[in-house]
Chains A and B, each alone.
Chain A
Amino acid sequence: MTPGYILSRLPWWGAAIFLAVACCLWIYPFVWMVAVSLKSSTAVFADALSLIPSDGFHPENYDRAWTTANFGTYLLNTVVITVASVALVVARSCLAGYVIGVYRFRGRKVLMGILVASIFAPTGLTIIPIVQMSQQLGVTNTRLGMVLALAGGGHILGTLLYAGYFETLPSELREAAVLDGAGFMTVFLRIMLPLANPVTATVTVLAFLANWNAFFVPLVFSLNAPSIRTVSVGMISFIGQYSTDWPGMAAAAVISLVPIVALFIGMQRYLVDGVAGAVKS
């Protein structure tokens, strides 16, 4: 390494140190949250800045969050509701995306137009009729109603990603299979859908993120049914009830965030692809 090389790299190492400090600041709230979740209530107030508990670790905070504050139940609710709604989103997106991408049926343009036009319909606009309709169907205050409301509206990007992908596949693939006597469903399930695995991964991750983190719909669907609360709704009712239990609050937050952060670290590539797709398409 010549001195010139080292000198030319120096500004980049300067930038790296700046970014390293910025990143520490960025993740500080999460580090603080984990630290508080292991402190005793007195230590939280006695040494606000220290990240290491002064009077030993207190894992019983997690016990309290899990049982007393019901986060065990809330976490189970969140998992069930998220998995069901993600499955529904992926199923309806790949089915619709396939025929929109591959077939030139009548009304295709109109359908695409309606889907794209309503892509930004905000929850604030649709929520009141959704609740009224769900009441008439008798599914407010039920997990089913929540799943339908989470998976039914929105999620247009998934359909568009599938449609865009299937459109790029050569039509010979399908034609050859048809010649061999394969029916519509066989072509779709055996040939086309497996080819779209990367798209399925992206749509799954995006839908998982949206539904796990959802708040508006779970909130209004569980206003009168505490037993079906998700973790995000459970959190505000928890601090409404025990506003001074900082360690319990922090432990509940850690319980709620660990699954989604673990998923992010495992599936980062698909997530970044999906987000970037919103700009590129």
Chain B
Amino acid sequence: MSTRAVRQRLARPGARHNRAGFWVLVFLAPTVLLYGAYTLYPTVASVWYSLLDWNGFDRAGTFSGLENYRDLFADELFWNSFKITLLFIIASVPIQLVSSLLIAMLLNSPKMPFSNLFRTALFLPVVTTSAIVGVVMQFVFDPTAGPVNGLLRALGIVDQGVAFLGSADTALWTIVAVYVWKWFGITLIYWLAALQTIPAELYEAARTDGASAFQSLRHITWPLLTKFAVVIALLTIEASLHVFDLVLTMTNGGPFYATEVLEIFVYRWAFDSPVPRLGYASAAAVAFGLFVAVIAALQLIGTRRSGTGQGRGI
């Protein structure tokens, strides 16, 4: 039987085809069930919960229409969280993108010694547990015996320890610094993957033609990187929305709500309050979800525009 005949046989409706159809369903079942229960249903249910007045002790809440949203948009602390989430993106993403690109260019050069060793060291914080790192960082930035203040004192920059995480002026920036340190390595790998798509022959050809290092950077590296830059920037922005672990373990949103990002706001009303307000927390969660969706949509548009999305997937 030729392959064409087999293909026809496989495609022909009949016993074998029905059996394949059965197996397709069996293979999809775990994903459809689990993903439906743990991602799709909760997304829809959050919207429903956000319309309820519900303290979480009763079995179900009472319908209250858009009451939660009215309260939420009048709540200064909600807007404070929103502002801090935005500030966090604006402060962390540009530093992370630019510095990791520079280091990636160094590491990508065949002339760079020990580049694998450096890459491993810079990537190490990425694999560690954020919640553990956050707790350790509380001690690293401790005003009395933490090494950061120890060094500042030894160098004579300060004479008394700075309460980096205990003061509303410095807490957010300290978390930004720790966050960039923690996730620098992942952006570095993104850039390295992008740089490795540029064939080395291009650089060699440019060199034979007498191009300077700067000229090859300007005319080869940069134009070929821009299509990846959009995707990498959006992935980095998206990741910077998820700082729950670091913030909860470093400051718990304090001092005086100075580091309360949106996910902490949701957590506080749903799980860390003497009388939970599940509907109210859900309204904030839905607002947060919409914010993430807008960024994800930008990512899709950016990917389409820059033409890297010809393949499958994201």
In angstroms, Cα B28 to Cα A194, docked, is 20
Residue B199 lies at the interface, judged by CB distance under 8 Å to chain A: no
The residue on A at minimum CB distance from B124 is: A27
Contact A103 B31 (CB under 8 A): no
Contact partner of B43 among A125, A185, A279, A280, CB < 8 A?
Answer: A125
In angstroms, Cα B182 to Cα A30, docked, is 12
In angstroms, Cα B311 to Cα A276, docked, is 15
Q: Report the minimal beta-carbon distance from A7 to chain B, rounded to whole angstroms.
A: 13
Q: Which residues of B contact A128 (CB under 8 A)?
A: 42, 45-46, 49, 266, 270, 278, 281-282, 285
Count residues on chain B whose CB falls below 8 Å from chain A CBs.
104
Tell me the A224-281 residues at the B interface (CB within 8 Å).
Answer: 231-233, 235-236, 239, 246, 249-250, 253, 256-257, 260-261, 263-265, 268, 271-272, 275-276, 278-281
Q: A12-B113, A99-B27 are in contact. Are A122 and B278 (CB under 8 A)?
A: no
Contact partner of B113 among A13, A33, A92, CB < 8 A?
Answer: A13
The residue on B at minimum CB distance from A274 is: B189
Contact partner of A96 among B31, B38, B137, CB < 8 A?
Answer: B31
Q: Mark B106-121, 1 if CB is under 8 A from A, else 0.
A: 1001011110011011
| Stretch of B70-78, B167-175, B200-208, B234-242 at the chain-chain interface | B234-242
Q: Which residues of B contact A54 (CB under 8 A)?
A: none
Residue B128 lies at the interface, judged by CB distance under 8 Å to chain A: yes
Contact partner of B39 among A15, A48, A152, CB < 8 A?
Answer: A152
In angstroms, Cα B239 to Cα A120, docked, is 10
Q: How large is the interface on A (under 10, 10 to 19, 20 to 34, 35 or more residues)?
A: 35 or more
Residue A52 lies at the interface, judged by CB distance under 8 Å to chain B: no
Q: Which residues of B contact A278 (CB under 8 A)?
A: 190, 235, 314
Contact A9 B31 (CB under 8 A): no
- Residue numbers of A with Cβ under 8 A of B are 9, 12-13, 15-16, 19-20, 22-23, 26-30, 32-33, 36, 44-45, 48-49, 88, 91-93, 95-96, 98-100, 103, 105, 111, 114-116, 118-133, 148-149, 151-154, 159-160, 163-164, 167, 171-172, 175, 178-179, 183-185, 209, 212-213, 215-216, 219-220, 223, 231-233, 235-236, 239, 246, 249-250, 253, 256-257, 260-261, 263-265, 268, 271-272, 275-276, 278-281
The residue on A at minimum CB distance from B197 is: A280
